Amino acid sequence: MLMWIIAFLWLALDQITKHTLPLFFNWYESTELIPGLLRITLVKNDGAAFGFLSGRSGLFIIVAIGFIVFLFIKRDLFLQSKITRIGAPLAGAGALGNVIDRIFFGYVIDFIDVPFFSIFNVADIGIVVGIGLLAIGFYQLERDHKDVFDNS
């Protein structure tokens, strides 16, 4: 149940920010929040991270839906670790949030602007943090599994 709550809340946060910010900010104009560190800059991104593979929304939709289906099919695997129970819904909700944008707008709305890095959104944070947590969780599960067999 916790996994569904995390996924719903993260997806809701992502969609609320993407639908609310354009009401208050202009596209492609920056508003500085923390000088030199953080701005709000609304952009339309039809590519992947850093605008890579621009114009390939169909490909990104297929890959993201495949990833979400994989997470759903393997959901019992993610229940084996506290870390993966958080990582899977974050990554899945992030992927779904960007798919929703691509289907309804034809692009992803990005707005968190870290000047020395990139412009991204709440969904992207979920994807990156979620996949990181999944990697750590799977590593721990594999390590624990090997320890069981090594000590027999």
Task: Please name the residue that has the structure tokens 């202009």.
Answer: 26
Better-scored residue on pLDDT, 51 or 7: 7
pLDDT band at 24 (very low <50, low <70, confident <90, very high): very high
pLDDT digit string, tens, across residues 49-75: 655 555 566 677 888 889 889 888 888
3-state secondary structure of 26: coil
| pLDDT at 16 > cutoff 70 | yes
- What pLDDT does 111 receive? 96
CB 43 within 8 A of CB 110: yes
Q: How many Cα neighbours within 13 Å face the side chain of 13? A: 15
Helix axes 2-24, 122-150, angle to 10 degrees: 160
| pLDDT at 89 > cutoff 70 | yes
Nearest to 39 by CA among 111, 123, 134, 128: 111
The chain-wide mean pLDDT, for the chain, equals 87
| pLDDT at 148 > cutoff 50 | no
Active site residues per annotation: 110, 124
Q: What is the C-alpha separation between 60 and 132, in angstroms, rounded?
A: 20
